[in-house]
Amino acid sequence: MLSEQPPLSLASVVSATTNQVHARVGDDLVILDLDSSLYYSLDPVGARVFELLQQPTRLDAIADTIVAEFEVDAPTARRDVLALVDTLVVQRLVEARANGAV
């Protein structure tokens, strides 16, 4: 029986998995999932989020970095970071840990 992933929150700690490789292409980031051989592309903001996830990091800290580095308000950054990371978890490019466990 598979255990379900708890919903992500800003307190979730997330990091990139080892089953992928990634590279910058201009301002974008291209990710190759080594298990499925699928490629994914992230825009500059998504690329920055993925770069920040190379080490286990709380999502609230990532949202704060996005607010500081890009022209976006905090509520929008939080919502968009959660949505992007949720998609990356579903694609198994990143994994979430227990809330607050770095």
Q: What is the number of domains present in the chain?
A: 1
Q: Which domain holds residue 18?
A: 13-94
Query: How does 35-63 read in b/e, with b if 16+ C-beta sit within 10 Å?
Result: eeeeebebeebbbbbbbbbeeebbbeebb
* The model's pTM: 0.88
Q: Is residue 8 part of a domain?
A: no
pLDDT tens across 54-65, in order? 999 999 999 999
Task: Label residue 98 by pLDDT band (50, 70, 90).
Answer: low
Domain CATH code at residue 80:
1.10.10.1150
| Residue pair 34/28 in contact by the 8 Å Cβ criterion | no
Q: What is the mean pLDDT of residues 57-76?
A: 97
Q: Is residue 46 part of a domain?
A: yes
Measured CA to CA, the distance from residue 8 to residue 76 in angstroms comes to 16
